[in-house]
Structure 1
Amino acid sequence: MNLQLINPFELQFPTEMEDWLEDSNCKTVRFNPFGTMLAIAGTEGRCSILDFDTRSVLRDLRGHQATVTSVSWSKNGRCLLSTGSDGQCIYWDLLPGEARHEFAVDSGAVLTGVAHPRNSHLFAVCPQAETPFLVDIRDDQLRRIPLNLVYTPASPGEYTKFAKINDCTLDDQRVDLGKHAFATLNFDRSGKRLFLGTTKGLLIIYHLRKAVVETVLSITNSSIRHIRFSRRGTDLLVNSADRSIRLYIYDSGDKQRRVLKRNYRQLQRAQVKAEVDGQQSAEEVAESLRHTGPTLTFIHKYLDQVNRVQWNECCFTSDGEHVIGGSAHKAEHNIYVWDKNATNLEKMLTGPREQLLDLTWHPFRPIAVSVSVFGNIYIWGGKHREDWRNWNAFAPDFKELEQNVEYVEREDEFDLTVDDQVIQHNQVTKRKAPTAETEADEDIDVTTIERFNPFNDSDFSDDSIGSGDEDPMETARAQSPSPFSIPGLCGDNDEREEEVMFLPIKLTPPLARTRGDDSVNDGDADRMPSGSVNSVSDRHSRDDEPFTEEDDDEIVTVDSSTTATPLLRTAVPSRSSSVAPHVHGNGYLAPAVGYFDAEGKRQAHTMEDVDAGGHKRPRM
C-alpha cells in the first residue's frame, strides 16, 4: 500500500460496513504493525493469519487446547503471541508456521499477553490469579514483577509524584497490593514502562530497567478492563467496568529528567551554593531528580448517555484524532466515534443485531474490524468514490455511472464493412476514398519497399493509375531492379544493363531445346552469331518437324564456349498463341508470327519475314 495515495482530507473513520467474513469460532482479532495481515483466534484453540487484501488464509496455527484469550504481534510482524484459557502461552514464528517458544502457567487461565514494542524476544503475560511476569525467550526464563516489594512504609518517595497530581496525602494512597488482582497490562510506546490495571481500579506504572514502580494512580473503584495507547504514545485510554472510557495525556518525564541530570552535573562540578547566588544547590536538584517520574493528566470521560452500557473494547484511530468505543449491548453491534478534542459524538456505526466482542483498528487507514458473538468478522470502511476528473487517461466525453446500466448497441455498430477489411491473399488494403479530413490523419509508409511485378495486369489495378505523364517502365526501374536484367549484352566494356521487353501474352512452361551445334538459317546469319541461340520458330520452319509435346520440357541455353554472349533463358508461348519471341544479336527479343499450314504443321516466322499483309516474304 502506498501511503502517499491516501487523501489527507477524507474522513479518518469508517462510515459503513464494506465486507464481512464468516467464522463461527472467532473471538479476537488484531492487525499486524503494517496493516497487511489480520490475526484471528477463537474457541477451538486455533489461530489463523489472513491476508487483509485478498482475504485468504496464510497460516493456520494449532496449539491451544481451549479458547484463545488474546493475540499480540511482534515489532517486525514475524512473530505472534497467543494466550489461552488453558494456561498456555505460545510464541509463534509465522515464517515456518511453528511455535518458537511455549510454556504453561500453573495458576490457570491467562487473561492477556502483550509483545514488547521494541524487542521481539520479550513479552509480558498477565495470569488470572498471579502477578504478571516478563518472558525473555533468549534465556527461557520467567521474571516475575516484584510489585509487593515496593509498597512499604520505608519507601514513601515512590508516592510523591502521585500525591502531587491527585492532591491527596501519602497515607491515603498506601495500599496493600496483595489484595488486588491484575486484570490487564500494556507497554508504552518506548517499551521502557509497563502499565498494569487491577480489579480495584489502580493503574500502576512499572519501570522495566529499574525494576521499580514509578506511579500508582487510582482511576476508579471498579476493575480496569483495557489500557490503550495512541500511535504517537502521548494519549492513553483506560476502559473500566464503570461504563466509561477515560482519556489521559501521558508524559513519561524523560525530557525533564535529562534536563535535571545535565543541571546536576554542572552544579556538582562548579560547587555552586544556593545562598551565594540564589540558584538551586546540587542537593535540591538531586532531590527533584529522584521524585521525577511519569505523569498522567485527565482530559475527558466518554460514555453512552442514553443506554449507559459498558464497553467491550476501546482504541484510537490511526491519526489519533478520534476515540473509538465498542458497545457491549447484548442485542446491538454499535461502534461509537468521538472527536478527541471536541469530545462530541461524530458517528455511530450500527451493525447487525449481534453483540460486539472485540474491535481493532488499522494502523494507517480508516478501517476497523469488529467481531460479533456469533464469530462473524465485520470490516468497516469508508465509501469509495473515484473522481474521474483526476484520471487523464479517460476520453473527454467519459461519463461516470452511478449504477450498472445495460448497454444497447447500435444496429450497425458491430457490422463488418468491406472498406475496413484487409485482403491478406493479395496484401491489398481496401480503404475509403480519402477526404480532406482523412488525408491529414493518414500515415505515410516510408520504410516498406514494394517489389514491382512485371506480369501484373496494370489495366485492372487501381494502384497503377497515375497522372498519365510518367513512363511505366521508368517507374518500374525506380521501384525495383528487373528480374530480367541482362548485363553485358552490348559488350564487355559496356556497363549498362538492358531489360528484356515482352508483349502482353499468356505464358506457359518454356518450349525450347538446346542446340549448340546446329547451323543457322542464311537469313539470320547477319543477326545471330553462330552457335549462340536458335529460336524454336526457326527450327520448326526449317526442318518442317511437327510440333510435339516433347518440346515442352526443352530449354534454350547458350553454349558455354562463347564468352561474348552470357547465358540467356527465354520463355516461349503456348501452342494456341500465334506470337513467339525471336532473339536478335543486339540482345532484344523480337515478336514472331506463326501459323498452321494445310497439313496441320506449325509454321513460325519473324516479323521481318512477313510483309504488311501477313504473307510470307521470300528470303534473299
Structure 2
Amino acid sequence: MNLSLQDPFSVAKEYPEGLTHTLQYGHSVILQFTDRGDYLASGLADGSIIIYDMISSAPIVHLDTGCHVRPITSLNWSSCGRYLLSSSQDWYVKLWDFSKVNNSEEDPVIRQVKFDGPIWGASLHPDDPYVFVASLFDDSPVHVDMHEEVAKVTRLTTTPLENQDALGEDVDMDDDEPKKTKRKDRHMTLVTTFTPNDGGYIFTGTSKGWVNIFETKTLTIKRSIKIANSNIKHLVISSNGRKLAVNSSDRIIRQVNLPDLINISDANDWEFEIDHKYQDVVNRLQWNSMSYNHNGEFLVASTYGQSSHDLYVWETSMGSLIKILEGANEELIDVKWNYSRCTIGSIGLDSGAIYLWSVVFPQKWSALAPDFVEIEENIEYIEGEDEFDIIDDNELTKKRLEEEDFNVDVVNGDLVDARGFDIRRKGFIIPIAYE
C-alpha cells in the first residue's frame, strides 16, 4: 500500500536505476536473498556467514562458530526462509536451522555432508530443504538426501545422453567414466540447479557446453542439449520456469525458452530454442554472474575485467540492452535479484563490499491529496467567482453520501502488494539476541 501511495506509476519500474546502499562486514564472496526479500545472506572469504536485515540494512547474525574454514562457494535459502544451505571449498555442505541460531544449547547446523574435494556449488530443492544437488571439483555431480542422519548420496552421470547411446554405456552408472576416457575428453559438470516451484527436474552444465536434464524422482537423464562449445559457468532459470540463461566461457549469454516439461511426457518432444544471445561485441567482455527478475522480463549480468565496473540489464522479450548500472569502483562478481524489493545486489571483487541498486521513488503528494498541485515557483492565485459561495446543505449531504457508498473492507487484508506479490505467505522471522 505504501508503495502505491509513494508513486502510483512505480509498479512499471521493474528494474533498479541507481546505487543506494553499500554494506561492508568482512570480505564477502557470495550472496543470496530470501524469497520474500527480508534477509540477505553473505558468505565471507574466511568461511563465516553474515545475515543482513533488509529493512535496516544492518547485520543481525554472524555464523562463525561451527562454520566453514574456507571461502563459501554457494548459499541457498529454503522457500520459508528458515533453512540455509551453504557449500565451501573445505569440502563440506552444511544445512543451517535459524530457529536455533541464538540458542546456546543447540547446534544450528542440523546436517552436514563431507565430499572428497571442493564444491563448485550446491542447489537446494525448492520444496524440500533436506534435498540438494551439487557439482564437485574433478568429480561427478551428486544428488543428496539428508532426511536421515546418514545422508544418501547418489552420483549423477555427466556424459551427455547422445554420447552414452553411441558408446553403449549404462545411463545410470558413471563410476567407470574417468577410466574409459582421457582427461581432456571427459565431461565435467560445473553447475547444477533445480527447476523452480516443484523441483521436478535437475539441469546440469558441463565443461563441453552440454546441458543435461535429469528427472528428480528417478535421477535418470532425460535429455541432453548442446548449447555452446566451451565451459558452462552458470545456469539460471527464471522463477516462472519459462526461461533459461546459460553463461559460457565464449563471452555469450544464451537465453533458451523452456517447454512445459511436466505436460510433455516424451523427452524427445521437448524443444529448446535459443531465443536471444547477450554479448558485448565491442569490448568482448566475459560475464561473471547473472540473474533474472521475478517474472523473467529482465536479466542482469556482471562483467569480468578490471576496467569494467558495471552491471548490464537486458529486456528479455526483445533482447535489448536497457540499462547499465554504475556506481561501483571495482569489478563486480556475484549478482542476485531481490524480487520483492526490486533490488539488485552485487559484490566487489577487491573490497568484498556488497552494493545494492534500488528503485528511488520520488514523493508524490498528489497521491495523498488529489487536489494537490506541485509548482516549481510561486504563481499568482486568482479566486473564482463561486469559490466562497454558500453551498446548499442538501446538495452537500447528497454528494457526501455518494462518496460513502464505496464499501471498504477493514477486516480482511490485501492479498497482494503493489507489485502483485502474494503477501499471505508468512516468512520465517530470525530471532535476534539484542544483548
TM-score (ref. length: structure 2):
0.75
Higher strand share: 2
Take 2:372 and 2:201, find their aligned partners in 1: how far apart are those partners?
A: 61
Take 1:294 and 1:187, find their aligned partners in 2: how far apart are those partners?
A: 17
SS in 2 for 1:95: helix
Contact residue 318 and residue 365 of structure 1 kept, 8 A? no
Residue identity (%): 26
The amino acid that maps onto 1:385 is P
Match of 2:42 in 1: 40
User: Is residue 378 of structure 2 the alignment partner of residue 376 of structure 1?
Assistant: no
User: Is residue 328 of structure 2 the alignment partner of residue 352 of structure 1?
Assistant: yes
Residue 105 of structure 1, CA deviation: 1.1
Match of 2:157 in 1: 147
Match of 1:18 in 2: 20
Residues 285-320 of structure 1: per-residue CA shift (max 9 Å, x gap): xxxx5x545432110100012211100111112232
The amino acid that maps onto 1:241 is S
Match of 1:520 in 2: none
User: Is residue 75 of structure 2 the alignment partner of residue 65 of structure 1?
Assistant: no
User: Structure 1 residues 327 and 148 mapped into 2: Cα distance closer, same or farther (>3 Å)?
Assistant: closer
Take 2:87 and 2:68, find their aligned partners in 1: how far apart are those partners?
A: 8
Take 1:357 and 1:148, find their aligned partners in 2: how far apart are those partners?
A: 27
User: Structure 1 residues 29 and 400 mapped into 2: Cα distance closer, same or farther (>3 Å)?
Assistant: farther
SS in 2 for 1:194: strand
User: Structure 1 residues 400 and 229 mapped into 2: Cα distance closer, same or farther (>3 Å)?
Assistant: farther
User: Is residue 366 of structure 2 the alignment partner of residue 389 of structure 1?
Assistant: yes
Contact residue 309 and residue 332 of structure 2 kept, 8 A? yes
Pick the aligned partner of 1:137 from 146, 157, 162. 146
User: Is residue 208 of structure 2 the alignment partner of residue 200 of structure 1?
Assistant: yes
Which runs of structure 1 show a deviation greater than 3 angstroms over 4 or more consecutive aligned residues? 1-9, 152-158, 175-178, 291-295, 396-402
User: Is residue 125 of structure 2 the alignment partner of residue 116 of structure 1?
Assistant: yes
The amino acid that maps onto 1:227 is L
Match of 2:135 in 1: 126
Residue 142 of structure 1, CA deviation: 3.1
Residue 31 of structure 1, CA deviation: 0.4
Runs (5+) with no aligned partner, structure 2 = 102-107, 172-180, 378-435
User: Is residue 94 of structure 2 the alignment partner of residue 84 of structure 1?
Assistant: no
User: Is residue 333 of structure 2 the alignment partner of residue 329 of structure 1?
Assistant: no
Pick the aligned partner of 1:53 from 51, 55, 61. 55
Take 2:258 and 2:4, find their aligned partners in 1: how far apart are those partners?
A: 30
User: Is residue 205 of structure 2 the alignment partner of residue 185 of structure 1?
Assistant: no
The amino acid that maps onto 1:76 is C
Contact residue 214 and residue 293 of structure 1 kept, 8 A? no
Match of 2:395 in 1: none
Match of 1:266 in 2: none
The amino acid that maps onto 1:142 is K
Take 2:244 and 2:48, find their aligned partners in 1: how far apart are those partners?
A: 31
The amino acid that maps onto 1:20 is T
User: Structure 1 residues 293 and 309 mapped into 2: Cα distance closer, same or farther (>3 Å)?
Assistant: same
Match of 1:214 in 2: 222
The amino acid that maps onto 1:300 is H
Take 1:148 and 1:314, find their aligned partners in 2: how far apart are those partners?
A: 23
Match of 1:615 in 2: none
SS in 1 for 2:12: coil
User: Is residue 261 of structure 2 the alignment partner of residue 247 of structure 1?
Assistant: no
Match of 1:99 in 2: 109
User: Is residue 206 of structure 2 the alignment partner of residue 230 of structure 1?
Assistant: no
Contact residue 134 and residue 191 of structure 2 kept, 8 A? no
SS in 2 for 1:214: strand
Residues 6-40 of structure 1: per-residue CA shift (max 9 Å, x gap): 75643211111111112341011110111110000
Contact residue 366 and residue 372 of structure 2 kept, 8 A? no
Take 2:118 and 2:357, find their aligned partners in 1: how far apart are those partners?
A: 32
Contact residue 252 and residue 293 of structure 1 kept, 8 A? no
Take 2:376 and 2:46, find their aligned partners in 1: how far apart are those partners?
A: 46
Contact residue 31 and residue 362 of structure 1 kept, 8 A? yes
Instruction: Give the structure with higher Rg (CA).
Output: 1
Residues 352-382 of structure 1: per-residue CA shift (max 9 Å, x gap): 3201111000123321011101111111012
Take 1:72 and 1:79, find their aligned partners in 2: how far apart are those partners?
A: 8
Residues 293-352 of structure 1: per-residue CA shift (max 9 Å, x gap): 543211010001221110011111223211211111213321111111221111111123
Runs (5+) with no aligned partner, structure 1 = 159-174, 258-288, 403-620
Contact residue 312 and residue 358 of structure 1 kept, 8 A? yes
Match of 2:314 in 1: 338
Match of 1:311 in 2: 287
User: Structure 1 residues 112 and 2 mapped into 2: Cα distance closer, same or farther (>3 Å)?
Assistant: farther
User: Structure 1 residues 8 and 401 mapped into 2: Cα distance closer, same or farther (>3 Å)?
Assistant: closer
Contact residue 366 and residue 373 of structure 2 kept, 8 A? no
SS in 1 for 2:263: helix
Equivalent residues in 2 for 1:284-295, closer than 5 Å: 289=266, 292=268, 294-295=270-271
User: Structure 1 residues 72 and 400 mapped into 2: Cα distance closer, same or farther (>3 Å)?
Assistant: farther
Residue 136 of structure 1, CA deviation: 1.4
Equivalent residues in 2 for 1:570-581, closer than 5 Å: none
